[in-house]
Amino acid sequence: MSVEFNHTIVLSRDREKSAHFLAGILGLQVGEPAGMFLPVTTANGVTLDFATVDIDIPVQHYAFLVSEDEFDAVLARLVADGVPIQADPHGRYPRRINRNDGGRGVYFSDPSGHGMEAFTRPYGSDPSSPLNGVTEDVPGAR
């Protein structure tokens, strides 16, 4: 059997708010609760199980590979919802996307402060792309 990533637990201040936020941005569905978990499942079957906790939550990073069309939809929802975006995980390029590996990428935070990322090309897929390091302004972005 090959090894596949199946699920992970995403600690949140409010599982409903966090799960619905991410599902809404990515165009996914929130599943039925399973005990303390509220699942959001991606197209490749990986489930993010959101759980409400009352502790200091360490910031985690979750990255989602999407198609070019899906990226357009994700970016449009982020802008329409007024979610602050940036081209890098360190916030040096607010209101911008990156063009790394000839694709497009965007970073944003979920309601619990986790770093979320949507991108169209896997890292390192085109190390010679002239677009590596290039960022683009997103009109209307926060």
CA 75-76-81 angle, to 5 degrees, is 100
Residue 31 has pLDDT above 80, yes or no: yes
The reply to whether 1 falls in a domain is no
User: Could you tell me the residue range of the domain that residue 43 belongs to?
Assistant: 7-52+60-137
Confidence of residue 128 (pLDDT cuts 50, 70, 90): very high
At residue 17, the pLDDT reads: 98
CATH number of residue 106's parent domain:
3.10.180.10
Residue 38 located in a structural domain: yes
Give the per-residue pLDDT at 28. Answer: 98
- Full strand arrangement of the beta sheet holding 7-12: 7-12, 47-52, 37-41
Looking at the chain, the whole-number percentage of residues with pLDDT higher than 90 is 99
Report pLDDT for 45.
96
Q: How far is CA 29 from CA 41, 61, 121, 128, in A?
A: 7, 20, 23, 37
Is 85 a domain residue?
yes
Q: d(Cα 138, Cα 122) in Å, to the nearest integer?
A: 21
What mean pLDDT is predicted for residues 98-123?
97
pLDDT value of residue 82: 98
* pTM metric for this prediction: 0.95
Alpha-carbon gap, residue 14 to 50, rounded angstroms: 8
- Looking at the predicted structure, is the pLDDT value of residue 1 above 90? no
Under the banding of pLDDT at 50, 70 and 90, the label for residue 11 is very high
CA pair distance 11, 99, nearest whole angstrom: 30
Whether 2 is covered by a domain: the verdict is no
How many structural domains comprise the chain?
Answer: 1
Is 128 within the bounds of a domain?
Answer: yes
What integer is the mean pLDDT of 90-94? 96
Helix, strand, or coil here: 124?
coil
Mean pLDDT of 79-89: 98
Domain assignment present for 142: no
In a domain, 16, yes or no: yes
Whether 124 is in a domain gets the answer yes
